[in-house]
Amino acid sequence: MDSMPPPGSSPLPDTDASALAWAAARVGDRWTLLIVHALLGGPLRFGELAEALPGIATNVLSQRLKRLEGDGLVMSSAYSARPPRFSYELTQAGRELAGVLALLAHWGAVAGGGEGVRHSACGTALEARWWCPTCDRPVEDPDDDGELRFV
């Protein structure tokens, strides 16, 4: 039976909580996640990003792009020297966030009363699972038996 942690305590071991805190410091706000999502389709210029993200202030977009670039998740390429203009694209580390965003969107859809992701070939609801490529098997309930750890 699942037990809830006491209020104010973390259900994650310290190393897991540290990994989560590190990740949240880089992409833990609404606009950053939406910028990464917009760039998953390929490089975009600043104006194209602003159009893809209705409601974002240009100064906020600029700040988030600079932070993402500093964290190694986005790279910029100049396409005009005068005035200086850039296009932005995800680095490999940034593209690795695609799976995280898909899981978060799935959770948001289900938690919001909608349906999650379905397999286009047969219509079955999909499930995310941890997989160990060395053992060639799924890791079931990693939190229960301590099989999942961040190092």
What's the pLDDT score for residue 1?
37
Its domain, for residue 111, covers 14-145
User: H helices of 1-151, where?
Assistant: 14-27, 30-39, 46-52, 58-70, 92-95, 98-111, 142-145
Evaluate whether residue 44 is within a structural domain.
yes
Evaluate whether residue 120 is within a structural domain.
yes
CB of 150 within 8 A of CB of 15?
yes
Give the number of domains in the chain: 1
| Mean of pLDDT over the chain | 84
Evaluate whether residue 2 is within a structural domain.
no
CATH number for the domain harbouring residue 38: 1.10.10.10
What is the phi/psi pair of residue 69, to 5°?
A: -70, -45
Question: Does residue 121 have a pLDDT over 90?
Answer: yes
3-state secondary structure of 77: strand
Query: Confidence class of residue 139 from pLDDT cuts 50, 70 and 90?
Result: confident
Token readout for 34 is 């939406």
Evaluate whether residue 5 is within a structural domain.
no
Evaluate whether residue 4 is within a structural domain.
no
Evaluate whether residue 8 is within a structural domain.
no
What confidence tens digit (pLDDT) does each residue in 82-114 have? 888 999 999 999 999 999 998 888 888 888 888
pTM, two decimals, is 0.74
